[in-house]
Amino acid sequence: MKRFSTHNAFLQKTPEAAWLYRPDLQNLLAALAEPGEEARVVGGAVRDTLLQRPVTDIDIATTATPERVIERAQKHGFRIVPLGVEFGTVLVISRNSRFQVTSLRADIATDGRRAKVAFCRDWSLDAARRDFTVNALYVDKDGRLYDYSGGVDDIKDGHVRFIGEAQTRIKEDYLRILRFFRFYAAFGRGRPDKGAIMAIAALKEGLKQLSAERIWDEFKKLLTVPDPYRSLLWLRSCGVLDIILPESAKWGLDIMPGVIADEQAAIARGETEAADALLRLMALVPPWAERVTSLAKRLRLSGAEKRRLANWAAVKPIAPDIDIAAMKRRLYLAGSFKTDNQDKAAGQAKSGGELAIYAPKLQAVLDNLRLAAAQAYVYHKQEDYQSYSRLLELAQSWEIPQFPLSGGDLAATGLHGAAIGKARRRLEGLWVDSGFSLNKGALLAKL
């Protein structure tokens, strides 16, 4: 067992490690480490602290069995959700937090999708079954760090590396191929680990054993990393992208840097909080209805995701030199709705997916403009890029006008039934053609 004492002070003194000393976590670690047992925080929280990144989820490993975890946690006032007791995992809930507590495990059988495990008391065996060295780091309640595979040095070097033999780790769960590229995108520097790339290229066909849901969930996480471009290039060069996203075949990754640059600029301006995974997916495939339909069905996308992709594939491309009147016409025909609480809706929109404040067809126009701007950016077409940026600003800020006539107004003129709808459509067309300038009286005069 290795202990990196030089890092103990780091965890104790830096603001990034303040989460470790929260009373509820300290109480839980103490409860689980009563005589005869040990408990430590493991994985992402430790890794992100060393990287000086925000910690969101806190996972705990312990020598105690799930039954003992439940008994000790309840005794100390915590609420319990038996999340997956048969796999050794218990969800422990305090007033303000949730902690996933898992008993130490060792793999006894694997099938490339899920491992069969046995509980153990050996920390090095628990570490050996994890995927990457940067995720096999433990810290106890006093800030002592335990590193069984050199993860601390790999974090320093920006090196994402499988624990032990890469082929062995991948064969245990083929999803680790995609996880490798996600972590490389998030933490890696320089070229990826040679042994990992060779193993991935040799074993990529194993991805076909996995469910579509698992593939899309992990690939979507990769797409939300601030800059996944290098990983996407390696996914393609290794042949992995053709397996998980065959719809991208013979379609370049060229515009992805433009999408990333625009999103990062929007985040810096406070216009959004995170990357839009679905927009980045659109940058990887052609806007052809047949391919988009195939992709959505194969990956089992949600209803909202399917609709957004289908609408994007159906929208007519917008030329950079479109005049403002024609653009407003496109926006009006696409339609939008505004909520009572615009700020709240804008906040919801930042979460990605089908944006909350835009109707689906207007969202498709926005997606079209963003991708067109990204393409112009990448190919150094500055004039086109500026045009698309202005059109985007118009699309996001223009208050779409309301047609001034109602069905009641038309009925009051003596029209009935289908004649009302026919007249409305004709008058609405005239109103749009006028640049939305005709008022109620002027429209009624054209009956």
How far, CA to CA in Å, does 122 sit from each of 37, 87, 163, 222, 375? Answer: 12, 17, 16, 32, 53
| Neighbour-count burial for 365-398, b at 16+ CB within 10 Å, e otherwise | bbbbbbbbbbbbbbeebeebbebbbebbeebeee
Tally of CB atoms within 10 A around 25: 19
- Angle at which helix 418-433 crosses helix 324-334, to 10 degrees, equals 150
Which pair of tokens denotes residue 13? 């003194």
**173, 114 Cβ separation under 8 angstroms:** yes
- Contact partners, residue 6, CB within 8 Å, separation at least 6: none
- Cα–Cα distance, 335 to 238 (Å, whole number): 43
Name residue 137's beta-bridge partners.
147
Q: Is 445 exposed, middle or buried (0-12, 13-18, 19+ CB in 10 A)?
A: exposed
- Cα–Cα distance, 97 to 37 (Å, whole number): 23
Mean pLDDT by 10 residues, the chain (447 residues): 43 81 95 92 95 93 95 94 84 94 81 69 92 96 93 96 96 96 97 97 97 97 97 97 94 95 92 92 95 95 96 95 94 63 36 44 94 97 97 92 92 92 92 92 92
- Whole-model pTM? 0.85
Superfamily of domain 163-244, CATH level 4: cca-adding enzyme, domain 2 (1.10.3090.10)
Q: Judging by DSSP bridges, how do beta strands 79-84 and 59-62 pair with one another?
A: unpaired
Tally of CB atoms within 10 A around 435: 12
**214, 222 Cβ separation under 8 angstroms:** no
What region, left, alpha or beta, does residue 98 occupy, with left being phi > 0 and alpha being psi -120 to 50 degrees?
A: beta
pLDDT of residue 73: 95
pLDDT of residue 10: 54
CA atoms within 13 A on the CB side of 270: 0
Q: Is 418 exposed, middle or buried (0-12, 13-18, 19+ CB in 10 A)?
A: exposed
Q: Judging by DSSP bridges, how do beta strands 98-103 and 59-62 pair with one another?
A: parallel
Q: Which helix (DSSP H) or strand (DSSP E) does residue 353 occupy?
A: none
Domain 1-157 class in CATH: alpha beta
Phi, psi of 99 (to 5 degrees): -130, 130
Residue among 161, 139, 117 at smallest CA distance from 44: 139
Domain boundaries, the chain: 1-157, 163-244, 256-397, 407-444
**124, 12 Cβ separation under 8 angstroms:** no
Phi, psi of 106 (to 5 degrees): -130, 140
- Cα–Cα distance, 330 to 319 (Å, whole number): 12
**89, 83 Cβ separation under 8 angstroms:** yes
| Neighbour-count burial for 231-244, b at 16+ CB within 10 Å, e otherwise | bbebbbebebbebb
Phi, psi of 262 (to 5 degrees): -65, -40
- Cα–Cα distance, 309 to 223 (Å, whole number): 16
- Cα–Cα distance, 180 to 175 (Å, whole number): 9
**184, 231 Cβ separation under 8 angstroms:** yes
- Cα–Cα distance, 153 to 145 (Å, whole number): 13
- Cα–Cα distance, 346 to 341 (Å, whole number): 9
